[in-house]
Amino acid sequence: MSVCWNCGNLPTKTIAPGIEAKVVWGDRLMLLQVALAPGAVVPTHHHPHEQMGYVVSGSLELAIADEICPLSSGCMYLVPGMTMHATKAGPSGAMVLEAFSPPREEYK
Is 6 part of any domain?
no
CB 56 within 8 A of CB 97: yes
- Going 15 to 18 to 22 to 25, the CA torsion angle's sign is negative
Judged against a pLDDT cut of 70, whether residue 1 lies above it is answered with no
Range(s) of the domain holding residue 70 = 19-107
State the pLDDT confidence band at 97, using cuts at 50, 70 and 90: very high
In a domain, 99, yes or no: yes
* Residues 87-108, mean pLDDT to the nearest whole number: 97
Question: Does a structural domain hold residue 39?
Answer: yes
In a domain, 13, yes or no: no
pLDDT at residue 21 tops 80: yes
Q: Please report, as a single letter, which amino acid is at residue 28.
A: R
pLDDT band at 2 (very low <50, low <70, confident <90, very high): confident
Residue 4: inside a domain: no
pTM (2 d.p.) = 0.94
Q: What is the pLDDT of residue 9?
A: 93
- Spatial distance between the Cα atoms of 2 and 9, rounded to a whole number of angstroms: 13
The pLDDT score that the predictor gives to residue 93 is 98
Q: Say how many domains are in the chain.
A: 1
Asked, for residue 11, whether it belongs to a domain, the answer is no
Q: Which CATH number belongs to the domain containing residue 53 in this structure?
A: 2.60.120.10
Average pLDDT value for the chain: 96
